[in-house]
């Protein structure tokens, strides 16, 4: 306990330096960084993740590592806009999880919410278990229940897992990068207006819970021709149960691209759905590029699926041109 107290005081001293002057930029990678340990057994500074977030000073500009020891942390966590420069790290997504069960207002149901820029997570699972015990086919009882939500720019994830049933990952706004992550759900389980790149991720469509109805992987919400948002899935894997559409249009200019991705037979032959924009599909940008697997057969796809030019594909499927234009990924700690 004494050592934990001393460590807390050291961390507080480091973090207090960031109160003097705030910059939109975080300190260089691991230089001048601070570490906070969260451990349910009491061998860290805190036993709850939210306690660690609350401990970080407002307008923080020092990269702060929150190391979460193995366990299931049953709590709802919010990172407010004035607390940037955080790295959240678990032991692995198999043994370290933040879990809650809520289906209140859609954007308020999230187990974990990030509203601060320059946030990085790795080796941790985010779960919303609200719909966990839904009987197969009892669609009316399934509610929006978010595992994770972000409205911030420059947010990245490595070897993380996101599990839920409906609206699992609320990728709402800002530039985001996902690498080697696992994302599970049945209905619109990756949704919002984010500008995001999914690299080497596993997408598990657990649509069997819908009792014969097809689910939807994405519901992307691009609003206009000048809106730069969209979801790109590069070298990913789509598996699951039941059947699933690759996406449906959450907004008029919805944009989703699957590139060099393995599509299993869970993908419905039509591939895509215009939702409420029937007759206005010309503004929707849904495309596939060099995908493989039984679900990649495009012979029965919707007629309005886009064939992108080589230049368009080159821009969208390159992480550095689509989301990392200013090199923010390289500026985050390893």
Task: Give the C-alpha separation, 272 to 267, whole Å.
Answer: 9
Task: Give the C-alpha separation, 313 to 73, whole Å.
Answer: 41
- Backbone torsions φ then ψ of 141, nearest 5 degrees: -90, -10
Among the options 153, 167, 171, 273, which is catalytic?
167
Task: Give the C-alpha separation, 146 to 99, whole Å.
Answer: 11
- Given a contact cutoff of 8 angstroms between Cβ atoms, the answer to whether 72 and 45 are in contact is no
Of the chain, the end-to-end C-alpha distance in Å amounts to 30
Of 201, 253, 209, 248, the closest CA to residue 227 belongs to 253
- Backbone torsions φ then ψ of 247, nearest 5 degrees: 180, 160
Strand order, beta sheet including 96-100: 71-74, 96-100, 125-128, 161-163, 182-185, 202-206, 237-241, 262-263
Among the options 153, 171, 188, 273, which is catalytic?
188
Does residue 273 have an active-site annotation?
no
DSSP H or E run through 127: strand 125-128
The pair of three-digit structure tokens given for residue 231, joined into one six-digit string? 């979801």
Strand partners, 231: 196, 256
Does residue 32 have an active-site annotation?
no
Distance of CA 269 to the CA centre of its chain: 26
- Catalogue the active-site residues: 167, 188
């Amino acid at each position: 306990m004494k050592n934990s107290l001393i460590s807390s005081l050291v961390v507080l001293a480091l973090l207090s330096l960031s109160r003097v002057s705030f910059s939109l930029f975080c300190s260089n990678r691991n230089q001048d960084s601070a570490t906070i340990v969260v451990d349910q057994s009491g061998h860290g500074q805190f036993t709850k993740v939210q306690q660690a977030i609350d401990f970080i000073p407002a307008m923080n500009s020092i990269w702060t590592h929150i190391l979460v020891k193995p366990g299931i942390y049953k709590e709802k966590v919010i990172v407010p806009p004035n607390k940037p420069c955080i790295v959240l790290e678990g032991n692995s997504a198999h043994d370290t999880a933040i879990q809650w069960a809520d289906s209140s207002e859609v954007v308020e149901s999230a187990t974990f919410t990030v509203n601060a820029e320059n946030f990085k997570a790795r080796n941790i699972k985010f779960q919303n278990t609200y719909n966990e015990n839904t009987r197969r086919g009892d669609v009316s009882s399934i509610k929006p229940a978010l595992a994770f939500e972000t409205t911030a720019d420059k947010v990245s994830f490595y070897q993380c897992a996101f599990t839920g049933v409906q609206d699992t990952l609320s990728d709402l706004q800002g530039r985001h990068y996902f690498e080697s992550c696992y994302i599970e759900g049945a209905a619109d389980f990756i949704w919002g207006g984010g500008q995001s790149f999914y690299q080497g991720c596993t997408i598990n469509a657990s649509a069997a819970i819908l009792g014969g109805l097809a689910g939807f992987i994405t519901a992307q919400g691009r609003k206009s021709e000048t809106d730069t948002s969209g979801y790109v899935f590069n070298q990913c894997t789509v598996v699951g149960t039941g059947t699933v559409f690759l996406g449906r249009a959450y907004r008029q200019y919805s944009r989703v691209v699957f590139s060099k991705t393995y599509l299993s037979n869970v993908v419905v032959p039509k591939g895509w759905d215009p939702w409420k924009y029937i007759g206005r599909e010309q503004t929707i940008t849904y495309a596939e590029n060099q995908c493989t697997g039984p679900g990649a057969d495009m012979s029965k796809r919707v007629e309005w699926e886009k064939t992108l030019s080589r230049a368009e594909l080159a821009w969208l499927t390159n992480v550095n041109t689509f989301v990392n234009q200013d090199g923010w990924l390289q500026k985050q700690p390893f």
